[in-house]
Amino acid sequence: MKKLFSIFTFVFIVGLSDGFSQLDPKEQLQEGIASFNGREYEEAVNYLTNYLNTVAEDKVAMTYRAYAYYYLGNYSDALADATNAIANDNSYALSHNVRGLIYTAMNNYPEAINDFTEAIFDQPDLAEAYMNRGLVYKAMKEYSEAVTDLSSAIDLNNTLLEAYYYRGEIEVYMGNYDAAIKDLNIVLMNRSNDAASLAARGLALYQTKQYKQAAEDLENAININPELKQDYETILEDAKRQAAEK
């Protein structure tokens, strides 16, 4: 299953440094979080590890290091950090959210749902937790529950394009093609070269017999990502044929 992503933006004033050892603990933490936000995950682990060697059991540092390990694919260390952070403060939503992501990557869906549910309880406005739980329901083919969670995520954060994409994709599965097209239009207004969204919208347009538009979307999707050709080439050719016959 594709890794799921959660984005949290933090602003810190960080001084220049010549190396990890020259920073005081506060600067280590700031640099670690800044590196994480810059997707420099190995660097983030180094800074946060140095910080935790000095200031042990810090839930924020352990949570961010868990996220960094997660994105590096090191699920065992990520799980250990997230679990330790939760042991220190069971009400810290981000720790439950990252552990939910880890359990999702490990295909442990019941535990993932438990953690995302706890994250939502602790921080009801955490849109990413709703989205992530919705994606677990999607993986379990519990599509109605998935749509409900993704809709909650969008209600909380209407700029969360991933939630629109996944809801649109699920609406295609459920045969709700007009709703799917509406969601995917929103994604593509902001990310016009998103191949997955073009392919999903193309399929929805095809199912609603809008063959010319479907062919355009599917062809663009394949041009952007040739790996999609195997899945969509037959539908693309039929859409072109149907459009020519109209």
Express each pLDDT in 55-98 by its tens digit.
988 999 999 999 999 999 999 999 999 999 999 999 999 999 99
Enclosing domain of residue 35 = 24-123
For residue 107, being part of any structural domain is answered with yes
CATH number of the domain enclosing 44 = 1.25.40.10
Say how many domains are in the chain: 1
- Tell me what percent of the residues of the chain surpass a pLDDT of 70: 91
pLDDT at 9: 35
Note whether 183 and 153 are within 8 A (CB): no
Note whether 25 and 38 are within 8 A (CB): no
For residue 76, being part of any structural domain is answered with yes
For residue 97, being part of any structural domain is answered with yes
For residue 203, being part of any structural domain is answered with no
Express each pLDDT in 185-213 by its tens digit.
999 999 999 999 999 999 999 999 999 99
Give phi and psi for 58, each to the nearest 5.
-85, 115
For residue 105, being part of any structural domain is answered with yes
pLDDT at 23: 81
- What parts of the chain have a pLDDT lower than 70? 1-21
For residue 63, being part of any structural domain is answered with yes
pLDDT at 2: 46
Note whether 48 and 77 are within 8 A (CB): no
| Residue with the two structure tokens 């040739």 | 226
Question: How far, CA to CA in Å, does 51 sit from each of 70, 94, 99, 246?
Answer: 19, 19, 21, 67
For residue 164, being part of any structural domain is answered with no
For residue 170, being part of any structural domain is answered with no
What is the SS3 assignment for 139? helix
CA-to-CA distance for 74 and 91, rounded, in angstroms?
24
